[in-house]
């Protein structure tokens, strides 16, 4: 009998975002943009046409503000964006479990954007431009995407490559440890990053205060949220954020 099940990735990188700690400062969004060469907003950009891999939403709940950072959820089951892409421009890395976007293959049809239930993808409507001199600050480890392609969070793949190269130089094999820019930059330490295949981190992600957005869709997101407010958990588990 042929086993048609997909092999489990060597690592399953994910995040635990503590909403009780997040104060909406936006440091994660800024760090993400700087690390991944996301250009400044075009003058004509709107909230829907702007290029942003990580957005922080403010919601009012029971008379108080809550802040929810949202990026690609790195779905692991029946990944919606991957299933609709006609160009195979979306691929799940077997070494990390990260849902990758391959801009060289992307034809800009935006089927993946329509399929994403988290609205976590962005389209390049304009050629990327930076103020004079700012091009000297670009991260040389990350390629700049061009107009007409879709992009999204990839858990700072450039940092993963650097960590992997360092591990190889040290003669080490297997999954590597590293921190994405958003987790490193968060002053409230609201973002924890780790390997969901490791029992300790997986146990934290399965805690009673943890939940996933739109859990009933069963997309298997690798970003988990945490809050002590049961009513906020219940509200966010099945609500659409935009």
> What CATH number does domain 13-237 carry, 3.30.70.20, 3.40.50.410, 3.30.1490.100, 3.40.50.1110?
3.30.70.20
* Longest CA pairwise span in the chain (Å): 62
Pick left, alpha or beta for residue 225 (phi over 0 → left; psi -120 to 50 → alpha; otherwise beta).
beta
Q: What is the pLDDT along the chain (242 residues), one digit of tens a residue?
A: 444 455 556 899 999 999 999 999 999 999 999 999 999 999 999 988 999 999 999 999 888 899 999 999 999 888 999 999 999 999 999 999 999 999 999 999 999 999 999 999 999 999 999 999 988 999 999 999 999 999 999 999 999 999 999 999 999 988 899 999 999 999 999 999 999 999 999 999 999 999 999 988 999 999 999 999 999 998 888 755 44
In this prediction, residue 3 carries a pLDDT of 47
Whole-angstrom distance, CA of residue 220 vs CA of residue 159? 24
* Sign, CA torsion 49/70/56/89: negative
Whole-number Å distance between alpha carbons of 54 and 72: 8
What's the residue count for the chain? 242
Give the per-residue SS3 of the chain: CCCCCCCCCCCCEEEEEECCCCCCCCHHHHHHHHHCCCCCCCCCCCCCCCCCCCEEEEEEECCEEEEEEECCCCCCCCCHHHHHCCCCCEEECCCCCCEEECCCCCCCCCHHHHHCCCCCCEECCCCCCCCCCHHHHCCCCCCCCCCCCEECCCCCHHHHHHHHHHHHHCCCCCCCCCCCHHHHHCCCCCEEEEECCCHHHHHHHCCCCEECCCHHHCCCCCEEEECCCHHHHHHHHCCCCC
| 100's tokens | 């990758």
**65 within 8 A of 119, measured Cβ to Cβ:** no
Which has the closest alpha carbon to 197: 6, 2, 5, 9?
9
Return the pLDDT at 144. Answer: 94
> For the chain, what are the domain ranges?
13-237
> Nearest-CA neighbor of 23 among 56, 72, 61?
56
| Contact between residue 192 and residue 210 where contact means Cβ atoms under 8 Å apart | no
């Amino acid at each position: 009998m042929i086993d048609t099940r997909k092999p489990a990735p060597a690592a399953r990188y994910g995040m635990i975002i503590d909403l009780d700690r997040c104060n909406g400062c936006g440091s994660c969004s800024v760090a993400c943009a700087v690390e991944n060469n996301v250009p400044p907003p075009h003058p004509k950009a709107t909230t829907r046409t702007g290029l942003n891999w990580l957005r922080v939403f403010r919601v009012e709940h029971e008379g108080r503000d809550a802040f929810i950072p949202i990026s690609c959820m790195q779905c692991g089951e029946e990944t919606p964006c991957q299933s609709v892409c006609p160009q195979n421009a979306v691929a799940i890395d077997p070494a990390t479990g990260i849902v990758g976007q391959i801009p060289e293959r992307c034809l800009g049809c935006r089927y993946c954007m329509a399929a994403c239930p988290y609205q976590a993808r962005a389209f390049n409507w304009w050629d990327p431009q930076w103020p004079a001199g700012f091009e000297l600050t670009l991260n040389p480890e990350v390629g700049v995407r061009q107009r007409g392609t879709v992009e999204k969070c990839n858990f700072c793949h450039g940092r993963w490559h650097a960590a992997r190269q360092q591990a190889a130089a040290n003669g080490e094999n297997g999954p590597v440890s590293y921190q994405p820019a958003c987790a490193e930059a968060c002053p409230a330490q609201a973002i924890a990053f780790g390997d969901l295949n490791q029992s300790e981190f997986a146990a934290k992600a399965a805690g009673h205060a943890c939940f996933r957005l739109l859990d009933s869709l069963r997309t298997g997101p690798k970003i988990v949220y945490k809050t002590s407010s049961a009513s906020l958990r219940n509200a966010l588990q099945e609500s659409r954020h935009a």
